[in-house]
Amino acid sequence: MFCESISREFPASPAAPRPRPDGTRTLARIASPSGRARTIGLTAIAFAAGIWLAPVEALAGDFYVRGGIGLDRSDRTAFSDTDCSSTAPAALYGCGAGDDGAPYRSVGDFGTVPAIELGLGYADGPVRFEVLAEYRPDYSFEGRANFLAPGSREEVAAKLSSVTGMLAGFVDLDGMGLPRRGLFAPFVGAGVGVVHTRVGKTTMTFPATTTTVPGGSRTGLAWMVTAGVAMAVGERVILDLAWRYTDLGKARTDRGPGKVIWRDRSREQRPLDLAPTHARVRTGLGVRLSLRYGF
């Protein structure tokens, strides 16, 4: 509501391109500031190529720990008001339709999301049960609002992080009678649990003004499905490579103080009391590389 009224006071100007942070570089920095993640990956490949291959069934009946890294590519999403008719506090977007015909909102995605995971599990024959924790330390929403005509500058950006805890189950399909393909044993799995997502300050940049929106956090339901292959690289060590689809529920900005700033300083900044907004967080395509160690 506030953003709409302020942005329409000024003529549109072409949007300036903004480079998106490289998720792969972020993951490498998080995994190890000294570049240890690259060394671990190369070591795992050499280890798998040079060590006698034990059967995957070696872990049957064992407890195990699993650690891994991954990258998720997010689906497109939209931040919108939880209540577009709110006036005290004021809805950020307000009710109505933008120039694209859709309700007022900000549409974009979370880019490439790095993830670190740790699991503790128990394997009993072809079935495994696992308590799984995942940390996504640094990812960002980048998108555009739809107050102005297409091509106008109305960029929206925010930083996020999330922690997830799940109870997951996996089935090793070769133990269920599915033929193995060479050294690789296929598996499928699913999990459900809770996620805590934190959103940092959101910045909305229009032709003449910048609007800041307070951050927020939310705890809610999360779930995932996965499929992959496992390869034994030691008597009690297994390398997993998996595809992953994850639904992290909703991210949310809380009620709180925001402000509108005129970048040419022609006016005093305007304080705002803003109502919450929210967006769905889904990773449509993710990969995980991890090692399991039985004990």
Contact 79, 218 (CB under 8 A): no
Could you tell me the two tokens for 7?
A: 């942005």
Amino acid at 96: G
What's the average model confidence in pLDDT over 58-67?
74
Span 2-294 CATH architecture: Beta Barrel (2.40)
Contact 74, 248 (CB under 8 A): no
Supply the DSSP symbol for 87: B
Phi-psi region of 83 (alpha: psi -120 to 50; beta: other; left: phi over 0): beta
Residue 44 has pLDDT above 50, yes or no: no
pLDDT value at residue 167: 97
pLDDT value at residue 9: 46
pLDDT digits (tens, 9 = 90+) for 212-259: 999 999 999 999 999 999 999 988 899 999 999 999 999 999 999 999
pLDDT value at residue 61: 56
What's the average model confidence in pLDDT over 152-163?
93
pTM of the model: 0.75
pLDDT value at residue 257: 95
pLDDT value at residue 40: 39
Beta-carbon contacts of 251 under 8 Å, excluding residues fewer than 6 positions away, are 141, 160, 197, 199, 218, 278, 279, 281
Residue 20 has pLDDT above 90, yes or no: no
pLDDT band at 151 (very low <50, low <70, confident <90, very high): confident
Residue 46 has pLDDT above 60, yes or no: no
pLDDT digits (tens, 9 = 90+) for 67-117: 999 999 888 899 999 999 999 899 999 999 988 889 999 999 988 889 999
CA distance 84 to 78: 14
Average pLDDT for the chain = 82
Alpha-helical runs (H) found in the chain: 2-7, 23-31, 36-50
CA distance 14 to 232: 54
Contact 91, 103 (CB under 8 A): no
State how beta strands 127-145 and 237-253 pair: unpaired
> Backbone phi, then psi, for 233, in 5-degree steps?
-125, 15
Query: Comparing 149 with 294, which gets the higher pLDDT?
Result: 294
